Amino acid sequence: MLKPRPHHPASHWHSTRRLTLGLLLVWFVLTFGVIFFARELSGIRWFGWPLSFYMAAQGLALAYLLIVAVYTWQMRKIDRRQQESEHNRGHNREQKREQQ
Q: How confident is the model at residue 5 (pLDDT cuts 50, 70, 90)?
A: low
Query: Is the overall model pTM greater than 0.75, yes or no?
Result: no
For residue 10, pLDDT beyond 80: no
Q: What is the mean pLDDT of the chain?
A: 87
Residue 70: CB partners within 8 Å, gap ≥ 6? 23
pLDDT value, residue 16: 94
pLDDT value, residue 3: 58
pLDDT value, residue 75: 96
Chain segment 50-82, per-residue pLDDT in tens: 888 888 888 899 999 999 999 999 999 999 998
Q: What are the extents of the domains in the chain? A: 18-99
